[in-house]
């Protein structure tokens, strides 16, 4: 078998950026150089410029596949392999083949071509990359039906981003260069929003940057290169779990920000035995801060901290390493050596090392604290061992004493001091050291049976006893502290893991925390009181049973019924209290949000109601008043025809007034809480057609583009009709003569949109918010059309129904008002499938057609 072909992929942020055009352009260039190039498959999607690029290229026929009575065409892999060109152009790498094909996906077909030694140039969009599929759906709201594994794309020999500025792509779309005219409006206001395109473009560039970074790491690993290549700044911040972590992270973030594209990484080194002291709560806060600063958190295992740090920094090609000044005291630094900083500087090579000062840096000449780690039982045991073993050892040594045994006697007493230090810590060891020194002087050093020191070296010996006792006790104390910290961390981790599991299984966070608290500490009962109300409880405490109360945040308290907690359990209780405080705050925010939303909706409708009282009621009231006044003032001078006209005007005005008052009173009852808003499943067409009739619009002025597949919306039919009447009246008033106002419906991401499109002067972007402010008419001097409250009313009504009203540019000039309302999901139909068959949802975003 010959050499495998090379794969070159053109990656785009969105449909229409020019991937297929660039692929065909490259094919034409290669043909001009005398290369054998064929078009294995190309999807032009009816774009004239793309179709023109196929001229002069050899296009291989496709094979036909029959499926459910429909003939589909696919790339003929066997024909391409039989033709054996040097380069094959294969469009849409993520395409799903028709059922019955040899391979399910087109990328699998391409793999066969590569195995046959044929070079392939292909195209793919960022939304089809499997790892980004869900991210793109969150950004755009459009589900992605096809995907390609990241591993396939990363194995490509060359990946290029075909970049186009978001606004340039929107201009291309508005000019009809991407989609047919009937799809442009929906595309521009949905998938192709400026924000969406900007985010997709950033995703594409970041994915390619990550691919380049991985390729660089792979090359450095293959070549055995461990020196730093400063392709871009990578700042590694060392975290110990101490209080200085926030200072170091912010300093590292500032260093990374000084260079464009700088990357922030935080690393914490954990010992293999898990005993290196670190505050889990502090580490969790610092991890959250790293992510907030746009960095990444890493945890590595290694007993030699400096070596582990430098190895990690070299593995990520770091250029800067930030560490903090040691928190050890000067005395401890003098005893234990230069510390991590000096070792890191020596091992870092050409990585810049920043040693950052902070408030917790050591600087006082003080002995380390030696109390609190060992339990009282161990201290008593050590003291008892000194009292019992000292006399026994003295009796034994005196019974076998000789002139040459003084050395062994001294070592025996030193061993006793070490053993007592291991058991009981500092104070029993100090007692054993003094007792051993005095015993040696009394029984074994001349003059015997007296406590007198004639030789200064004997004082030195006593000092050495004490030094041994202090040092061994310090080691024992640190080991005890680290063991306790490891056990505490394990307990905290296990407890929080259990709580998280309870919450995931549907149990409330407060109840789960309270129950796990009672179980963890073996209490008779636990109660959580929030705002003087029992929020959660576990167990049944006995009456008059001893209990302890712990404050939880600003609003709660935790009652612990049963025994008192030990000092070692207080730390774990602090973690639980912090979690409870966060859960209480979270519940409070949810309650506040649930209370504010109805108030906000009510306020929007109330505002619209008050505006309507002066807007919609004034004209019919004034007309009726003028007509009645005219009849009374000149009833004898009026002709029969004039009298009939005035009566008709009064009757029409009073009828309009009665209808408006009825509607507004219903809304008033809604605001008073005595009338529920009458939302129901409403077919948009059932409000659009009556709205046109109500306006009496000329049928030649209105173009209807109503999609039969659009589902019903959850809305109030009366209010929705009023909104359509207001918007349509505005559009007809501003539409130039000879143009038509188009009303279209579509579905996108479980939302139904009613679009009212005109080709009038439009509204500048900076003034669009003003049109929804009452009494704003933006230069409209036609006083017969109202006081500029129509759009304010419409926006209030739509938002009161849970929707939105937004203005957009009409391609070619003009204004498009978009009413967005939630679609009604039929019972038994997954919400994700609603709108999947509508023209808006089927904008051919994948630039390939997944077969049924």
Domains of the chain, residue spans = 7-221, 234-356, 376-481, 678-844
Q: What is the CATH number of domain 7-221?
A: 3.40.50.300
DSSP-derived letter for residue 232 is S
Helices (H), 293-352: 305-315, 330-336, 340-347
The reply to whether CATH 3.40.190.10 applies to domain 678-844 is no
- Looking at residue 589, its pLDDT comes to 81
Q: What's the rounded Cα separation, in Å, for the pair 710 and 839?
A: 9
Task: Give the mean model confidence (pLDDT) for residues 190-198.
Answer: 77
- pLDDT class for 839, splitting at 50, 70, 90? very low
Given this chain, do its domains 234-356 and 678-844 carry the same CATH topology? no
Q: What's the rounded Cα separation, in Å, for the pair 26 and 19?
A: 11
Length of the chain as a residue count? 852
Burial of 805 (0-12, 13-18, 19+ CB in 10 A): buried
Q: Which CATH number fits domain 234-356: 3.40.50.620, 3.40.50.2000, 3.40.50.720, 1.10.357.10?
A: 3.40.50.620
Please check whether residue 734 is in contact with residue 761, taking contact to mean a CB–CB distance below 8 angstroms: yes
- pLDDT class for 573, splitting at 50, 70, 90? confident
pLDDT higher than 60, residue 849: no
Three-state SS at 537: strand
Please give the helix or strand (H or E) that residue 525 lies within, else none: strand 525-530
pLDDT higher than 70, residue 186: no
Q: Bigger pLDDT: 705 or 368? A: 705
Burial of 55 (0-12, 13-18, 19+ CB in 10 A): exposed
Mean pLDDT is highest, among 39-48, 269-278, 608-617, 660-669, for 39-48
Task: Give the mean model confidence (pLDDT) for residues 302-313.
Answer: 80
Q: What's the rounded Cα separation, in Å, for the pair 475 and 4?
A: 63
Please check whether residue 99 is in contact with residue 67, taking contact to mean a CB–CB distance below 8 angstroms: yes
SS3 content of the chain, % helix, strand, coil (to 5): 50, 15, 35
CA dihedral 667, 670, 676, 679 (to 10 degrees): 40
Q: What's the rounded Cα separation, in Å, for the pair 284 and 266?
A: 12
Sheet with 751-757, edge to edge strand ranges:
702-705, 741-748, 751-757, 815-822, 804-809
Prediction pTM value:
0.45
Kindly report which listed range (62-71, 93-102, 563-572) carries the lowest average pLDDT score.
563-572
């Amino acid at each position: 078998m010959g050499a495998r072909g090379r794969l070159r992929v053109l990656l785009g942020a969105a449909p229409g950026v020019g991937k297929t055009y660039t692929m065909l352009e490259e094919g034409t260039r290669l043909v001009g150089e005398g290369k054998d190039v064929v078009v294995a498959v190309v999807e032009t999607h009816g774009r004239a410029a793309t179709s023109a690029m196929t001229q002069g290229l050899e296009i291989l026929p496709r094979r036909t596949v029959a499926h459910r009575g429909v003939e589909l065409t696919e790339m003929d892999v066997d024909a391409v392999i039989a033709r054996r060109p040097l380069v094959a152009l294969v469009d849409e790498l993520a395409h799903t083949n028709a059922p019955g094909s040899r391979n399910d996906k087109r990328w699998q077909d391409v793999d066969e071509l590569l195995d046959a030694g044929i070079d392939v140039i292909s195209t793919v969009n960022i939304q089809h990359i499997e790892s980004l599929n869900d991210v793109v759906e969150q950004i755009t709201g459009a589900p992605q039906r096809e995907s390609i594994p990241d591993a396939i794309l990363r194995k490509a020999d060359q990946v290029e981003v075909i970049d186009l500025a978001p606004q340039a792509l929107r201009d291309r779309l508005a000019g009809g260069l991407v989609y047919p005219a009937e799809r442009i409006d929906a595309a521009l206001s949905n998938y192709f929003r400026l924000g969406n395109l900007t985010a997709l473009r950033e995703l594409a560039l970041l994915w390619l940057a990550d691919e380049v970074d991985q390729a660089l790491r792979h090359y450095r690993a293959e070549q055995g290169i461990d020196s730093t290549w400063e392709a871009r700044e990578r700042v590694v911040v060392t975290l110990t779990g101490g209080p200085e972590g926030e200072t170091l992270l912010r300093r590292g973030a500032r260093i990374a920000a000084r260079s464009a594209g700088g990357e922030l990484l935080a690393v914490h080194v954990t010992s293999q035995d898990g005993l290196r002291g670190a505050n889990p709560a502090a580490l969790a806060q610092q991890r959250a801060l790293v992510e907030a600063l746009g960095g990444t958190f890493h945890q590595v295992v290694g007993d030699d901290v400096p070596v582990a740090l430098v190895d990690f920094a070299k593995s990520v090609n770091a250029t800067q390493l930030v560490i903090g000044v040691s928190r050890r005291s000067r005395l401890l630094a003098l005893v234990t050596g230069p510390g991590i900083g000096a070792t890191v500087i020596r091992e870092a090579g050409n990585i810049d090392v920043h040693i950052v000062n902070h408030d917790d840096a050591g600087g006082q000449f003080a002995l380390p604290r030696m109390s609190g780690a060992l339990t009282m039982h161990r201290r008593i045991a050590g003291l008892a061992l000194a009292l019992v073993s000292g006399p026994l050892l003295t009796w034994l040594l005196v019974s076998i004493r000789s002139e040459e045994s003084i050395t062994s006697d001294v070592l025996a007493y030193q061993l006793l001091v070490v053993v007592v230090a291991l058991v009981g810590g500092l104070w029993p060891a100090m007692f054993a050291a003094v007792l051993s020194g005095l015993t040696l002087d009394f029984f074994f050093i001349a003059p015997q049976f007296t406590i007198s020191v004639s030789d200064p070296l004997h004082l030195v010996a006593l000092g050495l006893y004490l030094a041994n006792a202090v040092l061994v006790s310090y080691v024992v104390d640190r080991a005890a502290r680290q063991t306790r910290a490891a056990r505490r961390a394990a307990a905290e981790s296990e407890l929080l893991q259990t709580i998280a599991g309870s919450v995931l299984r549907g149990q409330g966070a407060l109840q789960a925390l309270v129950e796990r608290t009672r179980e963890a500490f073996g209490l008779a009962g636990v109660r959580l009181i929030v705002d003087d109300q029992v929020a959660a409880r576990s167990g049944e405490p006995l009456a008059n049973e001893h209990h302890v109360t712990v404050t939880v945040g600003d609003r709660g308290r935790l009652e612990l019924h049963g025994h008192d907690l030990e000092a070692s359990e207080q730390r774990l209780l602090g973690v639980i209290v912090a979690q409870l405080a966060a859960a209480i705050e979270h519940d409070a925010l949810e309650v506040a949000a649930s209370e504010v939303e109805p108030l906000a909706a009510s306020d929007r409708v109330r505002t619209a109601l008050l505006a309507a009282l002066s807007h919609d009621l004034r004209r019919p009231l004034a007309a009726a008043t003028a007509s009645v006044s005219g009849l009374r003032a000149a009833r004898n001078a009026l002709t029969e025809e004039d009298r009939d006209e005035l009566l008709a005007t009064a009757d029409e005005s009073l009828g309009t007034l009665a209808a408006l008052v009825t509607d507004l009173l219903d809304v008033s009852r809604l605001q008073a809480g005595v009338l529920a808003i009458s939302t129901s499943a409403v077919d948009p067409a059932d409000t659009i057609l009556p709205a046109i009739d109500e306006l009496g619009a000329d049928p030649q002025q209105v173009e209807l583009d109503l999609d039969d597949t659009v589902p019903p919306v959850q809305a109030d039919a009366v209010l929705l009709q009023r909104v359509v009447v207001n918007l349509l009246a505005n559009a007809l008033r501003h539409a130039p003569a000879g143009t038509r106002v188009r009303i279209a419906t579509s579905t996108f991401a479980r939302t139904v949109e009613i679009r009212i499109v005109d080709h009038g002067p439009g509204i500048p972007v900076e003034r669009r918010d003003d049109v929804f402010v009452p009494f704003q008419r933006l230069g409209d001097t036609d006083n017969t059309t109202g006081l500029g409250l129509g759009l304010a009313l419409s926006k209030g009504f739509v938002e009161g129904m849970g929707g939105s009203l937004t203005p957009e540019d009409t391609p070619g000039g003009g204004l498009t008002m978009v009413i967005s309302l939630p679609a009604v999901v039929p019972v038994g139909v997954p919400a994700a499938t609603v709108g999947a068959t509508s023209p808006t949802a089927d904008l051919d975003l994948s630039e390939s057609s997944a077969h049924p």
